[in-house]
């Protein structure tokens, strides 16, 4: 369920952008493909076909424009919802640490 108060606590602005992302959930042995909806220095909103519950740790590889290799980061699912999406889940993921430098190609474009 989406946390309606989360917007009040955001420190970094969300940048709406669609980028391919792959991620691996703790306890699963298969990478899942997805697409970002928005990105900030401390979080990623994404769409995927898999359902993940809050507090699920994720390892993620994000294909950033103008970079040779995928950007790797880790985070944790904060909320998930299928509202308004057919056969897809919308996830809110909080990054383990603010990724200002690694996400610079997206954040300061």
Q: Is the pLDDT of residue 51 over 50?
A: yes
State the pTM of this model: 0.80
Instruction: Match 């306890």 to its residue by tokens.
Output: 27
| Total domains present in the chain | 1
Give me the residue label for tokens 């990623």.
44
Q: Is residue 103 part of a domain?
A: yes
Q: Is there a domain that residue 50 lies in?
A: yes
Q: What is the pLDDT of residue 83?
A: 74
CATH of residue 75? 2.40.10.220
* 1 within some domain: no
Dihedrals φ, ψ of 8, to 5°? -70, -25
Provide the percentage of residues in the chain whose pLDDT is more than 90: 45
CA angle (91 as vertex; 90, 96 as ends), nearest 5: 165
Place of tokens 């990054």: 95
User: Which domain does 90 fall in, by range?
Assistant: 6-107
Quick one: 98 exposed, middle or buried, by C-beta within 10 A (0-12, 13-18, 19+)? middle
Q: Let me know if residue 18 belongs to a domain.
A: yes
């Amino acid at each position: 369920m989406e946390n309606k108060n989360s917007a009040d606590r955001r420190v970094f602005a969300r940048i709406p952008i669609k980028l391919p992302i792959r991620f691996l959930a703790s306890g699963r042995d298969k990478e899942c493909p997805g697409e970002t909806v928005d990105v900030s220095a401390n979080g990623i909103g994404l769409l995927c076909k898999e359902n993940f519950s809050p507090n699920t740790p994720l390892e993620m590889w994000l294909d950033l424009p103008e970079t040779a290799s995928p950007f790797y980061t880790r985070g944790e699912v904060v909320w998930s919802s299928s509202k308004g999406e057919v056969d897809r889940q919308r996830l809110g993921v909080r990054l383990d640490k603010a990724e200002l430098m690694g996400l610079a190609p997206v954040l300061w474009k």
